[in-house]
Amino acid sequence: MKAIQYLKGFELIEREDPKPEGHDLLVKIEAISVNPVDYKQRRKTEAAASQPVILGWDAAGTVVSVGSEVEKFKVGDRVYYAGDIQRPGSNATHQLVDERIVGRCPKTLSFAEAAAIPLTGITAWEALFSRLGIRNENDAGRTILIIGGAGGVGSMAIQLAKKVAKMGVVATASRTESKHWCLSLGADRCINHHGNMKRQLEEAGFDSVTYILCLNNTDRHFESMTKIIAPQGKICSIVGTSEKHALHPELFQKSVTFVWELMFTRPMFSCEDMEEQHNLLCKIADLIDAKVIQTSMRKNLGPMSIESLHEAHQQLESGSTIGKIVLEALADQRYVT
């Protein structure tokens, strides 16, 4: 197999194909997508200056061999997944991944279109339905504020909240292009998270919202969220903090729930319910094949290479990407030193 590893730069390497054991699938990767976790892990690796790593957490491909305990898939199956942050990533021609966090690839999508979905789809699904506890029969018609709606997770969360949970959706977007993207996915209205969000919501007729999903700078928006959230409401964030936030008295008075979402938690700790990621990816595939929701792919940079990976990371780090950036199967290159 070939892979692109990172230490102080991207480097193309070649090694023997790994052998699947237990619940592992060996997947021939046909396409990947990039996420903020890719460049964050790249920066950590460079700062630590320790061992090179194979980055990448999002892939779609074909099963080429299976471990002895595999029950859900067979050789030749088309699959998609977000992987495990503790194992070698998807910037490669082949990858080992536990079947319990792998889903059946949507039948109606290409590999590139499918690769855009897993990490953000899992994050959005877990945030809405596991962490916030949204239930279709109870929460239809209630309003959720999605801060940072145009990114990868926001693109999936808008669709799931609006088209599956039947909720009212207010998304934040700071540019005309990103606003149009959010509205095209089903958001009822957009406000600007660089402005006074409470005032904008009040001008739009909202005194408060029942749920908030924060996908953009928890530190910056923490104070605003305490004022916007309704009594007995719930806030979920996927963005860690660097500041110390006091337990705000307004959150106490309102009996507000604050929860975190990290999609790597289940595989990282081998949680008993790890298989839920398999289940929800299959549900998302069914929703896509039924034309309820759509892929969030916005850019395809062509075959994976040192140059295209570098370009993808640069675009992500600019903070202005909309939807997802996808790369196709690793190009056949000579070994680079």
Rounded Cα distance between 198 and 167, Å, is 20
- Sheet-wide strand order for 53-54: 10-14, 2-6, 53-54
Tell the residue number behind the tokens 């495990």, with chain if given: 84
- Using pLDDT thresholds of 50, 70 and 90, give the confidence band for residue 241: confident
Q: What is the domain class of 2-117+265-330 according to CATH? A: alpha beta
Domain boundaries, the chain: 2-117+265-330, 120-260
Q: What is the pLDDT of residues 191-209, one digit of tens each?
A: 999 999 999 999 999 999 9
Tell me which residue of 190, 210, 209 sits closest to 200, measured CA to CA: 190
What is the per-residue pLDDT for 291?
Answer: 98
pLDDT exceeds 90 at position 332? no
pLDDT of residue 187: 98
pLDDT at position 48: 84
Which residues contact residue 205 at a Cβ distance below 8 angstroms, ignoring those fewer than 6 apart?
none
Q: Which of 117, 79, 111 is nearest to 96 (CA)?
A: 79
pLDDT higher than threshold 90 for residue 118: yes
Query: What CATH topology corresponds to 120-260?
Result: Rossmann fold (3.40.50)
Average pLDDT over residues 137-161: 95
CA distance 254 to 286: 38
What kind and span of H or E run contains 312?
A: helix 306-317
Q: How far apart are CA 109 and CA 89, in angstroms?
A: 22
Cβ atoms of 20 and 95 within 8 Å: the answer is no
Query: Can you tell me the mean pLDDT for 126-135?
Result: 97
Work out whether strand 59-66 and strand 24-34 pair parallel, antiparallel, or are unpaired. Answer: antiparallel
